[in-house]
């Protein structure tokens, strides 16, 4: 125990949560059952999603979608032009909205007579004792019967030579830039790179993306990732299969040196050549600003988990059982810090499970079986369940069907480019569904419902009446069409 805590009484609670994102859902449920609740937060209330994640990024991205719609109007015989964009005002308004929401959470907690809010970093002294080590409440020591670790993640900075001398951006700062850079280099090829590339690119930035895998969105189904990368290579300077090795900044210009990544299957340089990594050249890219969007790391390093029985994996994510209990008695964890799915809807789903398991009689495991994801880029991407590469790797027999948007009445009217891809087992059970194209994040939902609440078979979707001519017909057709076999033994015979 630190000197600061000497002479300060230990404060006792029924429940304590570290982190104020989805962990607050559990805190509120516990408070609603007459439990005394402590909330420890070192930054703004509301967690990553509200302050520097989904909410500000999707609000900003919608502006890009509006802009893109206007710019594409001539395809519909409409002559429109944009005379002005108040970019700074767009960003200010979004930032204000987000701060307002965060402040209202703070007001709610501080005026509550069942919650106690502690401002600062929580550090474990033992399994269920936490000391506040900095911030307004530094020195307070809290003990609780049940503790929840919900500390989330932060941007991860890969080992790039010279990066510490470059004034780079992460997603946190990029969402607050009041003017778009003229030329932006993005290191990373995942959804944050895709979304922010779309945002800045639409408002006039020349974007260069350097990603390690052979295509952007490596978490998506291969075919979708490939189609997405092709579209981005038309819009931007895309280098996939490249790893950033060194960076430096001089006279306001950032230079990144990238080398072919040996573990990639193929390399794309500036959207042009495609070859094997060992045949490819190193490349040098330049810009006015550098955005590092190379994944996220768990906020567990400040917690001093060595003082507890809580185990973490090699990357620092908290290990839990299927009920979200850690290895320490009475300590639970949820959200990004457990590293299952770094998605707000997953954290909310986990919060429901922890509430059920804390307050119910019989613990129930978290069900991740139909956990969807979406990327709000252009084109939009969404998916649920197994990807084709997963089924191939598991050597199971499956069948697949793909249907293009423009083969439906609405898709053709929209001049929509994209497809819905369905994967089923040979009994007709839905294994996965992957979409690239307009409204993908909405279209995926009927498949999630079929997998969760329905029988989880092709019939759930085939037999439901789909509105004609709505965009959802593309999902209906993908499920009603002619499937072709893939994987398992069949796959080996026919390639």
139 membership: H or E segment, kind and range: none
Sequence-separated contacts (24+) of 117-122 with Cβ below 8 Å: 117/39, 117/41, 118/38, 118/39, 118/40, 118/41, 118/142, 119/41, 119/42, 120/40, 120/42, 121/40, 121/42, 121/302, 122/18, 122/40, 122/42, 122/303
d(CA 481, CA 420): 11
DSSP state, residue 312: B
Residue 201 backbone dihedrals phi, psi, to 5 degrees: -60, -40
d(CA 358, CA 356): 6
d(CA 181, CA 291): 11
DSSP state, residue 165: G
d(CA 343, CA 152): 10
Per-residue tokens: 289: 């600003």
Per-residue tokens: 229: 């990368």
d(CA 169, CA 293): 9
The catalytic position among 115, 468, 492, 493 is 468
Sequence-separated contacts (24+) of 76-80 with Cβ below 8 Å: 76/415
Residue 134 backbone dihedrals phi, psi, to 5 degrees: -150, -170
Q: Is 252 helix (H, G, I), strand (E, B) or coil?
A: coil
Catalytic residue list contains 345:
no
210 membership: H or E segment, kind and range: strand 206-211
Catalytically active residues, by annotation? 468
């Amino acid at each position: 125990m630190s000197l600061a805590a000497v002479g300060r009484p230990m404060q006792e609670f029924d429940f304590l949560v570290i982190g104020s994102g989805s962990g607050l859902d559990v805190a509120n449920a516990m408070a609603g059952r007459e439990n005394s609740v402590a909330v420890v937060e070192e930054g703004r209330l509301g967690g990553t999603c509200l302050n520097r994640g989904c909410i500000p990024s999707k609000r900003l991205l919608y502006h890009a979608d509006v802009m893109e719609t206007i710019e594409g109007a001539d395809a519909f015989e409409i002559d429109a032009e944009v005379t002005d964009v108040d970019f700074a005002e767009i960003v200010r308004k979004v930032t204000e909205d987000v701060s307002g929401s965060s402040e209202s959470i703070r007001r709610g907690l501080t005026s509550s007579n069942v919650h106690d809010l502690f401002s600062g970093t929580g550090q474990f002294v033992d399994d269920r004792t936490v000391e506040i080590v900095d911030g307004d409440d530094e020195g307070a020591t809290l003990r609780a019967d049940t503790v929840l670790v919900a500390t989330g993640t932060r941007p991860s900075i890969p080992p790039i030579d010279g990066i510490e001398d470059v004034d780079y951006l992460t997603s946190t700062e990029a969402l607050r830039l009041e003017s778009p850079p003229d030329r932006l280099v993005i290191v990373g090829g995942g959804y944050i790179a895709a979304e922010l590339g779309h945002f800045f690119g639409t408002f006039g930035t020349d974007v260069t993306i350097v990603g390690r895998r052979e295509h952007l969105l490596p978490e998506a189904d291969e075919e979708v990732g490939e189609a997405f990368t092709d579209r981005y290579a038309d819009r931007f300077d895309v280098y996939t299969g490249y790893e950033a090795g060194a960076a430096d900044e001089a006279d306001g210009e950032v230079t990144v040196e990238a080398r072919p990544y040996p573990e990639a299957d193929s390399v794309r340089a500036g959207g042009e050549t495609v070859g094997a990594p060992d045949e490819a050249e190193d490349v040098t890219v330049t810009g006015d600003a550098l955005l590092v969007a190379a994944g996220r790391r768990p906020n567990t390093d400040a917690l001093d988990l060595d003082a507890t029985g809580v185990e973490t994996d090699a990357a620092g994510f908290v290990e839990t059982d299927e009920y979200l209990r850690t290895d320490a008695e009475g300590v639970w964890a949820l959200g990004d810090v457990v590293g299952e799915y770094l998605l707000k809807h997953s954290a909310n789903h986990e919060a429901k499970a922890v509430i059920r398991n804390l307050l119910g009689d019989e613990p129930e495991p978290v069900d991740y079986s139909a956990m969807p994801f979406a990327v709000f880029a252009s084109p939009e991407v969404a998916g649920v369940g197994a990807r084709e590469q997963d089924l191939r790797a598991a050597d199971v027999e499956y069948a697949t069907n793909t249907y293009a948007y423009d083969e439906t009445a609405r898709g053709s009217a929209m001049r929509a480019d994209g497809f819905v891809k369905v994967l089923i087992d040979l009994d007709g059970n839905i294994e996965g569904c992957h979409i690239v194209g307009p409204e993908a994040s909405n279209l995926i939902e009927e498949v999630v419902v079929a997998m969760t609440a329905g029988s989880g078979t092709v019939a759930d979707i085939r037999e439901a009446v789909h509105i004609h001519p709505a965009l959802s017909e593309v999902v209906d057709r993908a499920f009603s069409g002619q499937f072709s076999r893939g994987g398992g033994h069949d796959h080996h015979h026919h390639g």
